[in-house]
Amino acid sequence: MSRFPGRGAEPLIWIAFSGRADLAWQRLLRPGFRHCFAALADNEGWTVVDPLAGRMVVERLGVAPDFDLPEFWRRAGFRVLGPFVPTPPRRRSLALIAPFTCVIVCLRLLGHDGFVLTPRGLYRRLAMLLASSDRKKVLTSNAHSA
């Protein structure tokens, strides 16, 4: 999958996971999975959405549109999953009672819902989603080549 969507298409999304604990209670979370944030890639470049304690950062990065942000984050020690194509938004009652956390923000950007509480839980869910979509691509390509 290309790093940038076609013209007029939804942006592609990458989710990054960090082990940094800015708040004392975050140290209770699994090391390496104490925070998550997102990057959206469109034809013009990158937008980062980082739900921090006390404020939400949404920033258009001043880098070239072809800059490889996911690889930059990996070299900086983050775990990065993607790209994901956001699903159409759905109205769910569970979304009304979910706490406002970095995990919920990332889920909503992706158009997903469900009960995931921790960055590690989100990582596992998204990794399984990527693995199943990669498997479908392999099975489909093998079926056409047979």
pLDDT in tens, the chain (146 residues): 455 554 456 789 999 998 676 666 565 656 667 889 999 999 999 999 988 767 899 999 999 989 999 999 999 999 999 999 998 876 665 556 777 888 889 998 998 877 788 889 899 999 998 998 765 554 444 444 44
Of 65, 69, 90, which Cα lies nearest the Cα of 15?
69
Domain extent, residue 106, equals: 12-145
| Residue 1 belongs to some domain of the structure | no
Give the model's pLDDT for residue 96. Answer: 64
How high is the pLDDT of residue 141?
44
pLDDT at residue 95, as a whole number: 59
Task: Give the pLDDT of residue 117.
Answer: 83
How far is CA 40 from each of CA 24, 58, 68, 77, 142, rounded to the nearest angstrom? 29, 10, 12, 19, 31
The model carries a pTM of 0.80
Residue 5 placed within a domain = no
6 lies in some domain: no
Examine residue 141 and state whether it is found in any structural domain, yes or no: yes
Domains: count for the chain: 1
pLDDT of residue 34: 84
Residue recorded with tokens 């006390």: 54
22 in a structural domain:
yes
Which one, of 23, 22, 4, lies nearest residue 14 by Cα? 4
Give the pLDDT of residue 116: 84
Confirm whether 116 is domain-assigned. Answer: yes
Does residue 128 sit within a domain? yes
